[in-house]
Structure formats: structure tokens, C-alpha cells
Structure 1
């Protein structure tokens, strides 16, 4: 695999090679969060819908339906809530609802495109059971129209011009507002999240050299080695999975990922395997011996999330493996999520530039969506 490492030190060249403007879209994450957070101020209908939802009181449980980016939203809400959630939060990919879901529960749909048949089937079932329903989706989409049929609360997602992957926060923020209004989550600091995304945009910008830019360093690790992404903290685990998804989407490369404490059940075995053999040999020539056969570890962490992080870092260093650790130090969980998810998106974009991914990378996903919709 040919690597275009020179582009990572050439801001203009990297942006020219960035098909789809991924770097530019990722840099605008903070603005997208602020726009979504202003929904109640600029959309009177959304404000009325949220007020009505709050008037119905706290549900017995929150069931979050999501597929693709919507599933990431469900994981994000669960991670941000943590122990502060007032009721159980249950992510469900569809199409079947758990048998216990009924009128006492709230079903929340988070859909960036509003066309997933699995979610539509589960939403229709929720309507038949008389379950309270809230939907965040494009109003003109199939799921947006179905929400009206099941007498649910529709919170419009008005970011149709952006690619589906870039709509994460345009759906996540209104979904978090639904959980707040229903009394499930405490009020979230969207301003802090937007500021964290802005901080990431500055720290990981194209003009920042690779040796001081963790997103570019991660891209180089992915291009030169066989990487594994490990996470410390619930929010970091969401970002690690996001990094794996975006790496496959942008560059077509597979990445394993896991989170503490589950590392001890399997993935730590990578440190004793053939990919780690000889990684610490200072005489090893990566071009002669094959750099792709070396293991590297990327650690995404939240400050103070798990004391075992230091042990894991020590084990990786003791084996002589390449290690990159990025720690989110923001106090607010949502802000840490914004920072680490932006890191994941930037790293995947740089990796696509590094490997010279073509404009049609991801065409199989489009074909899959087309063929399964028929």
C-alpha cells in the first residue's frame, strides 16, 4: 500500500486530496452543535413539541431506536448519561421491540436519513402498542411521516445538505434534548461541547504538523501498522467505535477496538502475538521486514476514567509497541465526547488522504442501501 506521507505536512495538498471535504466538515462540528442547540430558540414548533413531551412526565424507560449513525447516537446518550440517568436507557437497533415496551415507556428514534426499514418497523410497532414516541429525523423522510401516523412527537433534523456521517450532532443534540425534557437526563452543556469541538478543530487542523497533531499521528499508525484502538471510559468507547467505522468508510481499512475493562478478556493477547514480535527491535527495517506486520495501539481516554489505563500503557511500552494516547480532559462528559469524536473523524480523514482513497470509496455501502431498499 503506497502512502502519501508528504500530504500530511502539506495543508493545501491534504485538503485537495480530501474527497468530499471531510476535513472541512469535521472542523465545523462546533458550529453544527451550536446550530442544533439553538433549535428551541429558532423553531417554535420544536419548542412546543418538547414542552408537550415534558408535560407527559418521566417514562418508565427510554428505548432508543437507531441504525448506523443513529446507533452511535444511542450509544452516545447512554455513555453521557452514565449513572445520572433517572430511568433505564435501552438502545435497540430494530426491527423488533423488546416485549416489555408499552405505554409507560418512551421510544426515541434518532435517524439521520429517516429511511431505515428496521427503524420504521419498530416505530410502527411502538405505535400499535400505544407507546410514547419521539422522533428526531428529517420531517419529509419516511420515518418523519410515520411519526405523525403513530401520533408521536417530531423534532425536525434540518441538516439534509450534509453527508449522513456528518449529521451525528444534528441528531444527537435534539435527541439529548428529548431525554432532558422527559426528565431522564440532567441539563446538558451544549456550549461546552461546541467549545471542545472547536478546540479539536484547532489542535487537529491540516496546518498542524504530524509530530504535534495526534489525528495525523493516528493516521500514520494506521497506514504503517496493524492498529488496535482501545478506550478508557464510556464516552471514549463510543469514540473508539466511531474511529473504527470512519476508518472503514474513509479508507477501507479494518480496525479492532475494545474498552477497559473488557481488554483483559482477549485483546491484550495481541501484545504476545506475532504482530508484536520484533516490534521493539531497533535494527528492524520496516520497508524490508514489512511494516504492515507490526502492531500499534491507539488509546482514547477520559481523564481519570479508569486507573487500569496506566497499567495498559505500561504493558504496551514494555513490549516495545508503538503507542499513541489521547486523553480528553474536559469536565463535562458531552464535551469529552465532542472532542474525541472529532479526533476520530479527523484521523479517518487524514488516513484517507494518506492511502490515497478514491472518491468512490464507500460505494458498496451505497449499493447495499439501494439493493436493500428495493
Structure 2
């Protein structure tokens, strides 16, 4: 079996081992953001939908319906809007809606497949209650079909040919445009966000050596260790969750994730016990002599941070370094939340791609999701 570090250091071998061209798909995130942001120009029905949302004015509350990747979109929107939101924001996975939701509230549905029965049930209920509704989903999907009976406006997702995991921005940007039109979010610079994704594609590109490519470095750590992804800042928290989801989906590897300051209530315990006991051994570890550390009981750590957002991140970083524990730190220094989101989510997606290649994840990876859907279908 090819050594993972040697594999990730060889761009040609990476390309040959990359089933489905996943690295290229992630590198196209900036293009996806630009395309989705040009929705008014590309879809003649989108302009009237967004104008109608604006004409209805600011709602009493914003309700975000999402499941799977749609739930990540909901978290992303909440993080971009931030704590200074002018209205309450609630994320609901469906199928039930809280009793107070009604005609004064805006419900935004985000779905990369348009097939979720939980979201379909919640959408139908929102329509019955007379809510203002915007659906972002593939235009030929079941949710798109339900939009009419629910008296919901439809923003058709234009990227239905891409794998589901690669559609995040194709759904997130139209949903953000709807939230912006409703007066909840100030006008965003989507071009700046696309540029941040482009920067990430250069920073984490396959030709970059692992020791200067954080995505490759984190993937190699995850291939050898249990991984804890800690975050400082709301956008970093979304990215850490995305990393955990994609590592499990794409490579079958578990990643713990927690955010400051709450990780101090539990996950800081990882710095004690087996992790602390093995830290001295890590000082003398030589992969050429000792071989790969696959299955090592001691965790490795990733710290995703937004610059000047959480001062306690420096304390955590110092504690990990003092214990000689494996640590990868990535700080997003972009000016706006949406730019930082584009950068850190690209990091998470590139890492998952490299990890899947490093561990040799095959075409059966992810089949359990379809099995679960079949076995729980009503």
C-alpha cells in the first residue's frame, strides 16, 4: 500500500487516485459562488422572487429549514448574520415546526437534493400556517413541486449535476440572497467571498507539499490519529462541523468537534490521560523508523480560528504545544464573515478529499446513508 504522506506529496499520483475528480470540484467553489450570486441575471424568475421578498418587508422571525447539507447552510446563514441580527433566527431540521411560527415569519428552505421527507413535511406545514416561504432546491425536485401548493417562492438551484456534497454554495448563496432581500442581512460582497475561495484553492492545491499545505497536513493527521477539531468563532465552528461531516462521509473517519469556550467543559480532558502520557513519545517518533502510527490512541488536534474573534484560542494553542501534542492551526484573517466562511469551508472540503485519498476510501463509502434512508422510509 502506498505511504499516505508520499501519495499526498505526489500531484500526479493524487490525480490518479482522486476518484470522481473531487479536488477539482472543491477548487471550483469560487466559480460556484459567482454563478449563484448572479442568480438574477441567469434565472429570469429569480429577480421577481427576490423583489417580492423585499416588498414584503422584514419578517418577525427567520426560520431556516435544512437537513444534512441544508442544516450546514442554516448554520452558515446564522453565523453570517451574526449576533446582531435584527430578528430572531431559528434553525429547524423538520418535520415539526414550533407552534408560534406563522404568517409574520419568513421560512427559508435549503435543500441540495429536494428529497428530504422531513423538510417536505415542514414545508407543507409552513404553507398551511400561511408563512412567507422561499424554497432553494433543484427545480425538478419534490420540494420544488411542493412549493406551489405551499404558496412558496422557488429559487431553483442551478448546480444539480454536481455531487450532493459539492452543492453547498449553490444552495447557500441563493438562501443568503433571500435573507438579504428580506432586510435581515446587509448587502454582501459575493465576489470577495469567491475570491477567498479562489485563494483557498491556491493555498491548498494538490501541488503544494504537505508541510506547507494545511489541508494535506490535517488529512495526514486524521489518517493516523483520532482527530479533535476545535473552533474559535462562529464561522470557524461551521467549518469544524463541515470537516467532521465530510471526514465521516468521504473517508469513514470520526472527527470530534467543539467550539470555544464550551470545549473547556469537556473536550479539554483530551489533553490529559492517554494524550498526555503519549506526548513525550511523540517527541521521539520517526516515521522512517517507527512506521505509520495508524490507530494511535492519542488524538491529534486542529484549531480553526477567526482572527481577533476569540482570545482564548491562544491559550488553548499554548496548552497543546506545551504538551507536544500534534496540532494544526489555521487562522482565517479575511475581512468579512462570508469571506472567512468561503476560506475555511474550502479548507474542510480539501482536507476531506485528501483524507479519502490517503486512506483509500472506495466507492462503497457512504452506502450506509442510502441504506438508512431505505430502511427508514415510510
Common fold: TM-score over 0.5: yes
Shift of 1:276: 3.2
Could you tell me whether the CA contact under 8 Å between 1:278 and 1:284 is conserved in 2? no
Match of 1:7 in 2: 7
State which of 344, 353, 370 in structure 2 corresponds to 1:366.
370
Match of 1:85 in 2: 85
Match of 2:345 in 1: 341
Match of 1:310 in 2: 314
Structure of greater relative contact order (alpha carbons < 8 Å, 6+ residues apart): 1
Match of 1:276 in 2: 276
Shift of 1:2: 7.6
Structure 2: runs of 5 or more not aligned: none
Q: Deviations over 1:250-303 (max 9, x none)?
A: 110101000001111000000012133122333456747955122211001101
TM-score scaled by structure 2?
Answer: 0.96
What is the distance in 2 between the residues matched to 1:217 and 1:59? 44
Match of 1:200 in 2: 200
Match of 2:46 in 1: 46
TM-score scaled by structure 1?
Answer: 0.97
Indicate the SS of the match to 1:44. coil
Match of 2:170 in 1: 170
Could you tell me whether the CA contact under 8 Å between 1:279 and 1:295 is conserved in 2? no
What is the distance in 2 between the residues matched to 1:141 and 1:104? 27
What is the distance in 2 between the residues matched to 1:330 and 1:200? 11
Match of 1:138 in 2: 138
Indicate the SS of the match to 2:275. coil
Match of 1:332 in 2: 336
Q: Deviations over 1:50-103 (max 9, x none)?
A: 101111111000000000000000000000111342111100000000110011
Pairs aligned (count): 374
Match of 2:361 in 1: 357
What is the distance in 1 between the residues matched to 2:70 and 2:137? 10
What is the distance in 2 between the residues matched to 1:232 and 1:182? 29
Q: Deviations over 1:111-130 (max 9, x none)?
A: 11001000000011111111
Match of 2:63 in 1: 63
What is the distance in 2 between the residues matched to 1:370 and 1:14? 34
Match of 1:183 in 2: 183
What is the distance in 2 between the residues matched to 1:278 and 1:133? 54
What is the distance in 2 between the residues matched to 1:290 and 1:169? 36
Larger CA deviation: 272-281 vs 208-217:
272-281
Shift of 1:366: 2.2
How does 1:175-254 map onto structure 2 within 5 Å? 175-254=175-254
Structure-2 change in CA distance of 1:288 and 1:181 (3 Å): closer
Q: Deviations over 1:108-152 (max 9, x none)?
A: 100110010000000111111111111001121110010111111
Could you tell me whether the CA contact under 8 Å between 1:3 and 1:223 is conserved in 2? no
Structure 1: runs of 5 or more not aligned: none
Indicate the SS of the match to 2:167. helix
Match of 1:157 in 2: 157
Match of 2:35 in 1: 35
Indicate the SS of the match to 2:302. strand
Could you tell me whether the CA contact under 8 Å between 1:114 and 1:141 is conserved in 2? yes
What is the distance in 2 between the residues matched to 1:259 and 1:2? 35
What is the distance in 2 between the residues matched to 1:349 and 1:289? 20
Larger CA deviation: 337-346 vs 84-93:
84-93
What is the distance in 2 between the residues matched to 1:373 and 1:31? 36
Indicate the SS of the match to 1:109. strand
What is the distance in 2 between the residues matched to 1:99 and 1:3? 55
